[in-house]
Amino acid sequence: IAAPEGVAHLAEQHPDMKIYTAALDRQLNEKGYILPGLGDAGDRYFGV
């Protein structure tokens, strides 16, 4: 799952790379969490 801001940044840094994502959520909030509901991906991954 990705946010448009992250995909845009990655595409800007690596214009020759194809980007695949299972889902594209709406946006990032002021803390950088994916909205509408993934939250902190690192916390989810590490079980925090």
Contact by Cβ (8 Å): 5, 27: yes
Q: What percent of the chain shows pLDDT beyond 70?
A: 96
User: Is residue 2 within 8 Å of 26, Cβ to Cβ?
Assistant: no
pLDDT of residue 45: 81
Query: Considering its fold, how many domains does the chain have in total?
Result: 1
* Model pTM score: 0.68
H-type alpha helices, 1-48: 4-13, 41-46
Q: Which domain holds residue 11?
A: 4-46
For the chain, what percent of residues have pLDDT higher than 90?
38
The distance from CA 5 to its chain's CA centroid, rounded to whole angstroms, is 7
Residue 44 has pLDDT above 80, yes or no: no
